[in-house]
Structure formats: C-alpha cells, structure tokens
Amino acid sequence: MQRVRRQLDLPGRREETAGAFVTVAVLDSGAELHPDLAQRMIVFRDFVNGEHFYYDDNGHGTHICGIICGSGEMSGGRFRGVAPNARLAVGKVLDERGNGDLAHMIEGLNWVLSIKDVLNIRILNMSVGVASGSDSSRICELHAALKAIWDSGILIVTSAGNRGPGENTISDISGKSGCMVVGCYDAEYYRWDPMRCETYSGCGSLRDAERKPDIVAPGTKIISCNAACRQTVKGNRSRAYCAKSGTSMATAICSGAAALTLGKYPHLTNTKLKQRFHLTARDVGLPWNRQGYGMINVRGLLDSFSEKD
C-alpha cells in the first residue's frame, strides 16, 4: 500500500480521516478480526455456512477490507488502507475456495439493501465474479438485485475479472445496472513481471458505446491484511500482511477512494460520483476496452468539486 499511496498521491492522515463516516458493504469471503480491522467492522453476516462470528476461511475478503480501510495498526500505519475512517458491513458470500453461489450473492445483495439506511451504506464493493454458464434465471435475478442496490443510491464497485486481456472478458456480474467496473493498471511498476495484473485484467468491447471497464487502478502485489493474523496474535507481525494481485485489489482501492470522497462530499449521489471518477481519470494511452476512462485520480476526486456538483 505504500507504493499505491505514492503512485496515486493518496492524502495524508489528517485529510484521510476527516469528514463524515461512510460505511462500505463488502460481499466476499468474510473477514477476520485482524487488529487493523477490528474497529472498522460494524456488522457481519454469513450466507454460506450460517456462522455467527467473524471469520474468513479463504483470506480474500480480509485482504480486500484492509485495502479499503485498514488502520495499519500492525505496521505503524505503513500498510493502512485508502480510507481508514470508513466502516465495514461484511457479508460472506464466497466459500473457503473463493467460489460463490448465485443464491448466496443475491441474499447478500438483499441484506445490504435492507440495512443501508441504518448503517449509512454508500458503497458496495464486489470483488467477485460469476462463472460463465451460470443459470440464466439466477443471473437475471442477480442483475435485478444489483439494479435495486444502484437505484437506492449506493455506488456499486465491481471488478473486471481476471480472464483478460482478450476482448469481451469482463465478468458477467460487472457492466450491469450502473456498476462501476474496475480493471488493473500498474504503470511503470512490475513491468518486468509477465504476471502483472494488467496482463490478465478483463476487457470490454471496442464496439460498445459504453466504456468498460470504467476505470483502472493498481492491482499487482498489493500488501494488505492477512487473515492468518487474528486479534489474539497481535505480536506476530510477520503474518500480519500479505501481497495479493488481481482486479479485486484494484476494485478495493477504488472503493476506498469513493469512501474518501463521500466523507468529504456526503451530498454526492452515486451517479455524480461515478461521473467524477470518469472525468478526473488520467488517460494512460491504452485502448478504451482496457482502460476505460483511465487511471483513478484520487487527488482529482477530492479537489475538483463544488457544492453544486
């Protein structure tokens, strides 16, 4: 996250913790009570196994939550998330292998909709994908649930998926019902690595009028919270963090940036905020179906508003 902070010119501690509290809903593999997250999580619901305690038997969800708003406690702030002032509503919809059932995802979406007003949920992070060949009726039900979430005023941030870079390889869960779709781009970082995220980031079609993905963000070897480090082992700093790569990580960075922006400008609608992501993005010279509007510009998001926007 240090590299990401430099690369994206993320704000310093005073600015990142200012403003209104914003709750980000995360539908993923769950979340452990990692020391960096213990004060961030306000509710947890398990749609896979029906457990009544915080846990993450895969590790993906904990990593995502840390990117969004981890406090960095175990690293002296070094590996804190993008928006440390945000709060988390976590729904477990992925199993121990990181696989998801459409029924669990739909349940999770309906749950988010039911608690949004009570918890001030403004953002939904879905760093998940849907396998090709999924039940078409369930897919339609999923898209209807996503539309209901968007229509309620929540910004939906989803990953482009990791099946690129061929055309039309964006996850089927993305590109629907107003979702802001995020792909990977690391600029000059990891150019030597043939497995850097942008080499497999999902791409849209050059023939579509609407640009997908909407935006790109860093996604290679992002260091964040390790699910193996629980609240009971605070002294075990060697296992507190781990590096993961993928469009999931890029998506979480954008969700954190959205939380920062809404903390400063709480009046913004999801539509206006999505437009601002587009308008402030930096063109990186890639085709539209790979970069969308370009690289996320956090400083532009935070500095470019007027009270009338």
Cα–Cα distance between 179 and 158 in angstroms, integer?
6
Please say if 205 is a catalytic residue: no
Name the active-site residue from 28, 36, 56, 57: 28
The packing angle between helices 136-151 and 102-119, to 10°, is 10
Name the active-site residue from 56, 57, 60, 171: 60
Please say if 60 is a catalytic residue: yes
Burial class (CB in 10 A: 0-12, 13-18, 19+), 234: middle
Cα–Cα distance between 52 and 245 in angstroms, integer?
30
**Other beta carbons within 10 Å of 308:** 5
Name the active-site residue from 71, 245, 248, 255: 248
Cβ(270)–Cβ(147) below 8 Å: no
Cβ(128)–Cβ(119) below 8 Å: no
Active site residues: 28, 60, 248
